[in-house]
């Protein structure tokens, strides 16, 4: 994927270092060591959820390091034949690479790269098994509506291991995402003409609060009208109640996958390759793991990049190792996200 020029001598220097005993890397890291990762959520004020991740940023002057920004935006979409809308909502992802991150690439090569990364992110995050349950708004009627979640990621700097950073940022942004509360609204012909002074011959709006707490905001509730206590049968529209928070968190926070890139050089593998190491690596194995809880793990996706090949027994070992690394990332990422959300609550309580 990355075509940084490297001389043969540099390549063999890196490879020989990885294969020597004990293995050594250009910057003295161990094979399974990540560079320092910085993470921040809520960076885009207009998005429903956003995050910025930087891997390997220099602690001294903040230069260098792979940097990815991800933001999610919810949009209402009507579900009807001919439109892209799906009942229960859908997730759509896109990745943009800043030309500044890849100065050596032509614009068509950059498009290819963006397309590859978009396909990777979209195919894994919009998979039905990960679908969040609270993206529907109005269901079943001919006016059905649903949220479409756009997740846009921008690669600002690439200094190696962009896939891991991409999925970390995507995961953090999705965990940061809040879905606005909605309640259904129905239009009815007026039954009691003398009841309401405000006339106009139109209709009375019967509104129902659907804030049952969790999940099913699309289920219609009792009308609060003093005159009419029947069930709302045909919700035609919805409204957004004003509420103190921005909505409830997107469902399925724990499920969003973690990506681990295993860089394989003959019989050793290492994590978090720098740009130079990436160009010296013949094969990279991308593993996507989704953790429902600490026990259950699902392999959500797998890709091999590069020209080299793997034996199946090697693959089995790599899978086992990858799961271990992914679990560590998952735990520390969750800890960091909890810390971020606590900080946000503290920030809000100041006012």
- Binding residues (CB under 8 A) for other proteins: these are 5-10, 12-14, 16-17, 20, 22, 24-30, 32-40, 52, 54, 58-63, 276, 328-329, 332-333, 335-336
Virtual torsion, Cα 94, 95, 96, 100, nearest 10 deg: 170
Instruction: For other proteins, give the closer residue by CB, 14 or 95.
Output: 14
Q: DSSP string of 173-242?
A: HHHH-EEPP-EEEEEEE-S-TTT-S--SSSEEEEE-----SSS-TTS--B---SS--SBP----EEE---
Burial of 14: CB neighbours in 10 Å, binned 0-12, 13-18, 19+: buried
Look up residue 31 and give its DSSP letter: T
Instruction: For other proteins, give the closer residue by CB, 39 or 151.
Output: 39
CB of 176 to other proteins, least distance (A): 14
Instruction: For other proteins, give the closer residue by CB, 230 or 324.
Output: 324
CB of 192 to other proteins, least distance (A): 60
CB of 147 to other proteins, least distance (A): 29
CB of 104 to other proteins, least distance (A): 9
Instruction: For other proteins, give the closer residue by CB, 137 or 280.
Output: 280
CB of 174 to other proteins, least distance (A): 16
C-alpha distance across the termini of the chain, in Å: 48
Question: CA-based angle 261:293:260, to the nearest 5?
Answer: 0
CB of 16 to other proteins, least distance (A): 7
Instruction: For other proteins, give the closer residue by CB, 3 or 78.
Output: 3
CB of 264 to other proteins, least distance (A): 19
Would you tell me the crossing angle of helices 107-125 and 162-176 to the nearest 10 degrees?
50
Instruction: For other proteins, give the closer residue by CB, 13 or 116.
Output: 13
Instruction: For other proteins, give the closer residue by CB, 61 or 242.
Output: 61
* DSSP strand pairing (268-271 vs 283-291): unpaired
Instruction: For other proteins, give the closer residue by CB, 5 or 46.
Output: 5
The three-state secondary structure class of 286 is strand
Burial of 64: CB neighbours in 10 Å, binned 0-12, 13-18, 19+: middle
CB of 86 to other proteins, least distance (A): 34
The span from the CA of 187 to the CA of 208, in Å, is 12
Instruction: For other proteins, give the closer residue by CB, 235 or 271.
Output: 271
CB of 227 to other proteins, least distance (A): 55
Beta bridge partners of 203: 189
The three-state secondary structure class of 92 is strand
- Cα-only R_g, the chain: 25
Residues 6+ apart with CB under 8 A from 247: 48, 178, 179, 180, 181
């Amino acid at each position: 994927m990355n075509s940084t020029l490297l001389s043969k001598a540099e390549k063999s220097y890196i490879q020989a270092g990885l294969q020597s005993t004990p293995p050594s890397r250009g910057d003295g890291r161990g094979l399974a060591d990540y560079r320092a990762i910085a993470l921040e959520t809520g960076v885009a004020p207009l998005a429903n959820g956003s995050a910025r991740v930087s891997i390997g940023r220099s602690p001294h002057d903040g230069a260098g390091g792979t940097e990815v920004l991800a933001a999610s935006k919810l949009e209402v979409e009507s579900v009807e034949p001919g439109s892209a809308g799906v009942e229960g909502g859908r997730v759509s992802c896109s990745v943009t690479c800043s030309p500044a991150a890849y100065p050596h690439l032509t614009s068509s090569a950059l498009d290819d790269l963006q397309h590859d990364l978009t396909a990777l992110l979209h195919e894994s995050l919009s998979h039905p098994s990960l679908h969040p349950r609270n993206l529907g708004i109005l269901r079943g009627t001919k006016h059905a509506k649903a949220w479409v979640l756009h997740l846009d990621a921008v690669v600002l700097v690439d200094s190696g291991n962009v896939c891991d950073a991409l999925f970390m940022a995507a995961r953090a942004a999705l965990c940061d995402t809040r879905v606005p509360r909605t309640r259904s609204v129905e239009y009815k012909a007026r039954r009691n003409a003398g009841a309401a002074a405000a006339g106009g011959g139109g209709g009375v709006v019967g509104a129902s609060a659907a804030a049952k707490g969790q999940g099913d905001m699309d289920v219609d509730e009792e009308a609060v009208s003093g005159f009419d206590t029947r069930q709302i049968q045909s919700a035609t529209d919805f409204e957004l109640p004003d509420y103190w928070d921005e909505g409830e968190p997107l469902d399925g926070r724990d499920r969003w996958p973690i990506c681990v890139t295993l860089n394989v050089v003959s019989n050793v593998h290492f994590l978090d390759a720098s740009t130079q190491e990436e160009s010296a690596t013949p094969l990279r194995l991308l593993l996507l793991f989704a953790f429902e809880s600490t026990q259950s793990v699902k392999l959500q996706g797998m890709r091999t990049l590069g020209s080299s090949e793997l034996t199946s027994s090697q693959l089995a070992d790599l899978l086992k190792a990858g799961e271990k690394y992914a679990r560590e990332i998952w735990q520390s990422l969750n800890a960091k996200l909890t810390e971020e959300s606590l900080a946000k609550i503290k920030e809000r309580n100041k006012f």
